[in-house]
């Protein structure tokens, strides 16, 4: 019990003090496909949980699994765009005149 506790304390202190680590693991059969089990440090360092969404980059050299980058969104809001419109910037001079009967009375 004491050995396990010491190992656990050491493991968690290592995890908290590093940003990356390389781990060798084995790809295993899972149904008709292959699977890579994400456990231990492979789960704890990036904070993966069941249901975590990840991005997988596939190259000739292998796979890179990362958390998705946060969406950056638009640089300005729709309201800011609307507030900045005037006749000139809205191109009101380019609006076509309706033909008779096009707009119900």
pLDDT tens, position by position, 13-40: 454 555 667 788 888 999 999 988 888 7
Residue 63 predicted with pLDDT over 90: no
DSSP class per residue in 12-65: HHHHHH-S--------EEETTEEE----THHHHTTT--TT---EEEEETTEEEE
How much is the mean pLDDT over the chain? 77
Worst-scoring range by mean pLDDT, 14-18, 27-31, 62-66, 95-99? Answer: 14-18
Residue extents of the structural domains in the chain: 2-66
- pLDDT value of position 18: 53
**104, containing H or E segment:** none
């Amino acid at each position: 019990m004491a050995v396990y506790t010491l190992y656990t304390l050491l493991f968690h202190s290592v995890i908290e003090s590093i940003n990356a680590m390389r781990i060798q693991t084995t790809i295993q059969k899972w149904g008709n496909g292959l699977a890579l089990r994400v456990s231990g440090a492979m789960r704890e360092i990036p904070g993966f949980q069941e249901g975590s969404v990840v991005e997988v980059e596939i190259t000739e050299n292998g796979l890179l699994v990362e958390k998705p980058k946060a969406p950056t969104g638009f640089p300005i809001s729709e309201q800011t765009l609307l507030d900045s419109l005037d006749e000139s910037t809205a191109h009101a001079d380019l609006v076509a005149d309706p033909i008779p009967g096009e707009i119900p009375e």
